[in-house]
Structure 1
Amino acid sequence: MSQALPAEIFKAYDIRGIVNKSLTADVVRRIGQALGTLALEQGQTAIAVGRDGRLSGPELAGALMDGIMAAGCDAIDVGCVPTPLTYFAAYELGCNSCVSVTGSHNPPDYNGLKMVIAGTTLALDAIQDLKRRIEAGQVRSGQGSQRSADVVGAYIARIVADVKLARPLKIVMDCGNGVAGAVAPELFARLGCQVLPLYCEVDGNFPNHHPDPSKPENLKDVIKALQETDAELGIAFDGDGDRLGVVTKDGEIIYPDRQLMLFAADVLSRVPGGTIIYDVKCTRLLAPWIKQHGGVPLMWNTGHALVKAKLKETGAPLAGEMSGHTFFKERWYGFDDGLYTGARLLEILSRSADANAPLKNLPNSPSTPELNIKMAEGEPFALIDKLKAAGKFDGAEQIVTIDGVRVEYKDGFGLARPSNTTPVVVLRFEADDAAALARIQAAFRQALNAVWPGIQLPF
């Protein structure tokens, strides 16, 4: 038996930890050997490895590739690229397997691994199995080789061939010093945009603001640039480029569940009757919108890996999450890609003389952003189990428990779900008007206090 690994780095959809504490080069090398073994067992001979712009990236990617080769599997280094380019490399290079060394939108001292083996994103049990395999020493030994490949040119060419803007657009682009800055400005210029870049220099210290466009405070600079220039629209990417933020000329943030409405209408015009998948955090205005445009709405669990699995199972042409991960299977590969999503957005908006009009005309209703209850490790799941068993919600039309507790009323909904990445309970509320929103929040306040006395609520 080899020594135990830190359990806390093996998350639901990826591996993530603090560099040189829970996530060391040695741990990553051992994971690499297990991934190489897994790939070989599934008839694959090579794994593409990319990394985001974090300072620890080169060392950890090197350790990962050492591990992959120690299993007798080949490693293909695709360099410092956005996570979607690492996914793209698996298709472009024909190896079907890839690992992105990324801390996503976590603080600078974090890093992690997003893993795809033989075309399947590792998640949940598969990640726990990987841990057990390493600790039991069930790995192969051999001597693989390493080579480098540059897929950036092929990626840009593929998108430029696919996406056509009806007219040039002038946009503000905030890459938050994340790795999207290495590719996005060139891509959007090639699509015919005039790009006003903000923080597009890749810097793993993230000196300007945190690269997470799901938080409104991280979009302040985009809003300011839109006020001060003649740019029509603002877009922003997260740290590893797989999520997109969108801001209108007048400073309104268009959250991803509303972006998904625009994409759904567009995709369904070419794929009538298609299934559109969205996660439990999304607006309740989505389902009627999808039906109205001739599609089939399907609510599913939160988590990029879980959504990808459902996409594969259903053959859906499109899926999206409230967090900003959007998955196009129509015309694309079905992985989450903030850069490609941005390109598809501009393709739709460029057809209007006023690029903001299609966004401003989307249905909307009063809602809260994601609210978090911070708890101790393990407590969020215990709380949600209690809420499922004993929560009282008078007047509810439906209670959905596929991922947490989502309570649907005739005039709104409330959601409480345990995060799979950090020890918090995620809450979200939406309603037809402010009074209904307050009533639904009061019902949740009462139910949460009843099952977990003394809980500190953020609303």
Structure 2
Amino acid sequence: MIYQQKQINRSVFRAYDIRGVIGQDLDEHSFYSIGLALACYLQKLERHQIFLAQDGRLTSPALALALKKGLLDSGIDVVDLGSVATPVMYYATHSQGIDSGLMVTGSHNPADYNGIKMVLAGKTLTQEDIDILYDLVVSGKRVTGCGKETALDVMNNYTQRILSDIKIKRPLKVVVDCGNGIAGPIIPQVISALGCEVIPLYCDVDGRFPNHHPDPTIEANLADLKKAVIAHQADIGLAFDGDADRLGLITNEGDMIWPDRLMMLYVRELLSRLPGATIVFDVKCSSHLEKVILEAGGVAKMCPTGHSIVKSVMKKEQAALAGEMSGHLFFKDRWYGFDDALYSACRLLEIISSSSLTVSQQFELIPNSINTPELKIAIADEDKFVFMKRFSEEAKFSEARIIPIDGLRVEFANGWGLLRASNTTPCLVARFEAIDKDNLKQIQHLFKRQIHLVDNRLDLPF
């Protein structure tokens, strides 16, 4: 196929990656053009080699080929990792002597989406970096050359590194739902090798995602996992997104545990060994998480949402652990500091196996409140940041602590609310937490009134 440079819709260049609908926002020519622009960017960084990997989506092979061609035509040597999970690409950039990598993936988005996650010179790209990359695409600037293509299989090294680190103290029965994502073949193998009995669910790779949407933070997607945990009398259920960098959890009683509560379990174990360590968490997380960190002797650091932002703050603060409400979990303690759902799952199994209590009983010891999941409010991509600017300037909340680091988080005596613009989808995201249902409704009512003062056309799910 002969690829041509082309202009690309600005909206697909998100806050920390590139993502859009294939055939509508992006195509093979787009990926070729992005490859040319990335080569210019790499040249400025004095990098001439890069890893390339792809997920299991139906469009990924052709898009990865176009991206590779753009890099090779610009003199960049490409080391092809094949079809692997995003954390495997991250692992390669930390262990194989090349600190740049690209992952063709649509992550947890629907099957018609695809995109690119990027690590360049050891750094996940920020909004500023993405803007520079977009400007390079728009300029049509390119360098010419003839890069060399090689292939490398790091899967065995990656899995052995996990197995050498994790120790299970008692056998567990684990149901694993890979959502037909790219890591389906490897996750059951690793967990089984730890000494656990594994019941696999949707572990065959199928880029159509025929069984459920590959997002483990939406409770409806975990319905079959819940049923399987109960039916098999399993100790725990684990769910993974399409590229295995986000983790979901079901207890032995079939209850979903949100990632911020899961972090509290990690925090208590980690700070028992590393008192004084810094823990980073995003603005969507429960207020209980900060309290648990402080009570356990740690340093708590809240930051904006976004995996590249979290990694940046984590590095700056030299944090041992970080996490997002979206299920991205980052261990620097004993690991490399990138978001890795399989490693995070194995660390969880290690912790719960060290206690004779069931998973449900262990989480009964973790504080909880009345709270909502992420509530999405549909709004056009081009309007969401304009709305949030007005909301931040005009909304009035009395007797409250305002945290404006990412949208507005408003903390009251009996709970809090958050409204922010999503960085990856055309929506606003709200979340609420309170000591009881009455206070939750009161906080939601305050937000609803302020939102509709800015735009009364928005359809609110609360």
Query: Normalised by the size of structure 1, how large is the TM-score?
Result: 0.97
Specify which of 262, 282, 285 is matched with residue 285 of structure 2.
282
Taking only aligned residues, the RMSD between alpha carbons, in angstroms, comes to 1.4
Matched with 1:148 is: 151
Equivalences for 1:15-34 in 2 at 5 Å? 15-34=18-37
Q: Which moved more, 1:268-277 or 1:336-345?
A: 268-277
Specify which of 353, 364, 367 is matched with residue 363 of structure 1.
367
Q: Secondary structure at 1:358's aligned position in 2? A: helix
Matched with 2:273 is: 270
**Which amino acid is the alignment partner of residue 267 of structure 1?**
L
Task: Give the deviation of 1:354 after TM superposition.
Answer: 2.7
Task: Kindly provide the CA deviation profile for residues 58-99 of structure 1, in whole angstroms up to 9, marking residues without a partner as x.
Answer: 111111111111121110111111111011111222110000
Task: Give the deviation of 1:426 after TM superposition.
Answer: 0.4
Matched with 2:262 is: 259
Matched with 1:195 is: 198
Matched with 2:296 is: 293
Task: Give the deviation of 1:128 after TM superposition.
Answer: 1.5
Task: Kindly provide the CA deviation profile for residues 129-182 of structure 1, in whole angstroms up to 9, marking residues without a partner as x.
Answer: 111112223332111111111111000000001111111211000001011202
Unaligned stretches of 5+ residues in structure 2: none
Q: Secondary structure at 2:264's aligned position in 1? A: helix
Specify which of 221, 230, 233 is matched with residue 230 of structure 1.
233
Specify which of 36, 61, 67 is matched with residue 64 of structure 2.
61
Q: What is the alpha-carbon distance in structure 2 between the residues aligned to residue 57 and residue 454 of structure 1?
A: 38
Q: Does 1:413 align with 2:416?
A: yes
Task: Kindly provide the CA deviation profile for residues 402-442 of structure 1, in whole angstroms up to 9, marking residues without a partner as x.
Answer: 00011001110001001111121100000001111111111
Task: Kindly provide the CA deviation profile for residues 329-353 of structure 1, in whole angstroms up to 9, marking residues without a partner as x.
Answer: 1111111011111011101000012
CA contact (8 A) 1:319 1:328 kept: yes
Q: Does 1:328 align with 2:320?
A: no
Task: Kindly provide the CA deviation profile for residues 363-386 of structure 1, in whole angstroms up to 9, marking residues without a partner as x.
Answer: 110001111110122222222212
CA contact (8 A) 2:166 2:346 kept: yes
Specify which of 394, 402, 414 is matched with residue 398 of structure 2.
394
Q: Which moved more, 1:300-309 or 1:40-49?
A: 40-49
Matched with 1:452 is: 455
Q: What is the alpha-carbon distance in structure 1 between the residues aligned to residue 451 and residue 49 of structure 2?
A: 49
Aligned residues: 458
**Which amino acid is the alignment partner of residue 333 of structure 1?**
Y
**Which amino acid is the alignment partner of residue 453 of structure 1?**
N
Q: What is the alpha-carbon distance in structure 1 between the residues aligned to residue 77 and residue 133 of structure 2?
A: 19
Q: Secondary structure at 1:413's aligned position in 2? A: strand
Task: Give the deviation of 1:3 after TM superposition.
Answer: 4.5
**Which amino acid is the alignment partner of residue 436 of structure 1?**
N
CA contact (8 A) 1:48 1:95 kept: yes
**Which amino acid is the alignment partner of residue 370 of structure 1?**
E
**Which amino acid is the alignment partner of residue 203 of structure 2?**
C
Q: What is the alpha-carbon distance in structure 1 between the residues aligned to residue 363 and residue 305 of structure 2?
A: 24
Q: What is the alpha-carbon distance in structure 1 between the residues aligned to residue 350 and residue 171 of structure 2?
A: 10
Specify which of 242, 254, 261 is matched with residue 239 of structure 1.
242
Query: Normalised by the size of structure 2, how large is the TM-score?
Result: 0.97
1:158/1:382 Cα in 2 relative to 1: closer, same or farther (>3 Å)?
same
Matched with 1:304 is: 307
Percent of aligned pairs sharing the same letter = 47
Q: Which moved more, 1:110-119 or 1:83-92?
A: 83-92
Q: What is the alpha-carbon distance in structure 2 between the residues aligned to residue 222 and residue 413 of structure 1?
A: 31
Task: Give the deviation of 1:5 after TM superposition.
Answer: 2.0
Task: Kindly provide the CA deviation profile for residues 193-240 of structure 1, in whole angstroms up to 9, marking residues without a partner as x.
Answer: 111000000000111111111000011011101111121110000011
CA contact (8 A) 1:52 1:80 kept: yes
Unaligned stretches of 5+ residues in structure 1: none
Task: Give the deviation of 1:13 after TM superposition.
Answer: 1.1
Task: Give the deviation of 1:360 after TM superposition.
Answer: 2.9
Task: Kindly provide the CA deviation profile for residues 1-20 of structure 1, in whole angstroms up to 9, marking residues without a partner as x.
Answer: x6522212111111011223
CA contact (8 A) 2:14 2:127 kept: yes
Q: Secondary structure at 2:294's aligned position in 1? A: helix
Q: What is the alpha-carbon distance in structure 2 between the residues aligned to residue 259 and residue 302 of structure 1?
A: 17
Matched with 1:382 is: 386
Matched with 1:437 is: 440
Q: Secondary structure at 2:334's aligned position in 1? A: coil
Q: What is the alpha-carbon distance in structure 2 between the residues aligned to residue 165 and residue 43 of structure 1?
A: 43
Task: Give the deviation of 1:394 after TM superposition.
Answer: 2.4
Matched with 1:100 is: 103
Q: Does 1:4 align with 2:7?
A: yes
CA contact (8 A) 1:280 1:300 kept: yes
Matched with 1:217 is: 220
